Amino acid sequence: MRKSKRLDQIPPYLFVKIEEKKAELQKQGIDIIDFGIGDPDLETPSHVFKKMHEVLETKDSSNYPSTKGELSFRKAVADWYKKRFNVDLDPVNEVCSLIGSKEGLSHLFFAYVDPGDMTLVPDPSYPVYGIGTLLAGGTSYYLPLKKENNFLPDLDNIPKDILKKSKLLFINYPNNPTSAVADRSFFEKAVKFCKENNLLLVSDLAYSEMGYDGYKPMSVLEIPGAKDIAIEFHSLSKTYNMTGWRIGMAVGNKEAVQALATIKSNVDSGVFKAIQFAAIEALTASQETVSKNNKVFEERRNILFEGLLSLGFNFPKPKATFYMWVPVPTGETSASFAQKLLEKCGILVVPGNGYGAEGEGYVRFAITIPKARIEEAIVRMKKEL
């Protein structure tokens, strides 16, 4: 059987390879301290589980959902955005449910990208931005995220011929994998830039509720006029420790939201209603668990950051996300250092070049493991490196 040509162009998904390597070593009896995948180890709030149990056996939860999401869920999203960011959203036209933000991001390309079109993708970045472009027949133009520019893209030096072919500009702050943050002036510039160049601004805001030391991330939709050109993707995965539940939302520009909904209506049947009802509970109930979780991650961040500094690493303390973007020692590459950590210390991290060429020279730590394991990792590194 002949597979499609596009399949030949797709590299194995980064985390599939990492999980395979981890399983191989564990079979050998090696104790692996896993800083790899950003999957929170903390529990989903109990009141969310309780709501799920309440609705699971009701008839209303079992039939086909709306592709765009139950109106009650979309209203809860709009209310949450108003309370959190003071952003007004029309739940009918400006909100769409997603089977996780990854699904929504990957389907957006088919609403906007034709063969020959280009997208503006940060490098390093979440792999879906580039892979989604490829699957839709487009080409990515990569925008380097450099330390000297605080890991923000340089929008001023994109060639004009590239801009003419481009449809989408991706931004992701707080950022995966670099943990960088952006201030209001950057969002204002991005909005203005997209208006001037007829681009759809695609904001990935999965980590908005993971800020530390009093830092509160913002939404690009807070910028006046942003809804004219911006669609924002969000998820309950990181905020409420619901990665496996697969529920998120796309909000913002109504034309973009409706275009995405049209694609989705032809390729999926929406989010299981019971999960939507549980998500409503998460969004509308007390957010105390979110604050408690952040304190846990902040403590873990402090332990790992101080430990790495004591080993001679030098990088800024992250203000957000549960990632650390750590420069590798002189003479090492991303891959060689990740391999050394794994073989000498039993520590799994992600090589930075897995997120793009500009990620070379870094590894990513995800602090999604208990603090005792983080402390053990520091002990192992001090002993073996």
CATH code of the domain in which 92 resides = 3.40.640.10
pLDDT reported for residue 312: 96
CA distance 181 to 178: 9
CA distance 385 to 379: 10
- Same domain flag for 278 and 301: no
pLDDT digits (tens, 9 = 90+) for 146-181: 999 999 999 999 999 999 999 999 999 999 999 999
Start-to-end Cα distance in the chain: 49
pLDDT reported for residue 227: 98
pLDDT digits (tens, 9 = 90+) for 278-292: 999 999 999 999 999
- Same domain flag for 98 and 208: yes
- Same domain flag for 266 and 140: yes
CATH of the domain at 353: 3.90.1150.10
Percent pLDDT > 90 in the chain is: 88
What domain count does the chain have? 2
Helix and strand tally (H, E) in the chain?
A: 13, 12
Residue found under tokens 């139950």: 70
Question: Which range is least confidently modeled, 36-45, 108-117, 151-160?
Answer: 36-45
pLDDT reported for residue 6: 83
Beta strands 248-252; 230-235: pairing state: antiparallel
- Same domain flag for 237 and 105: yes
- Same domain flag for 12 and 53: no
- Same domain flag for 68 and 170: yes
- Same domain flag for 115 and 224: yes
Mean pLDDT to the nearest integer, 114-122: 97
Global pTM? 0.96
CA distance 27 to 270: 38
- Same domain flag for 270 and 338: no
3-state DSSP assignment of residue 95: strand
Give the C-alpha distances (Å, rounded to integers) separating 109 from 106, 116, 141, 172, 363: 6, 13, 15, 17, 29
Range of the domain at 309: 5-43+288-384
Residue found under tokens 């992701």: 172
pLDDT reported for residue 14: 64
Domain stops at, among 232, 250, 284: 284
- Same domain flag for 84 and 181: yes
The overall average pLDDT reported for the chain is 95
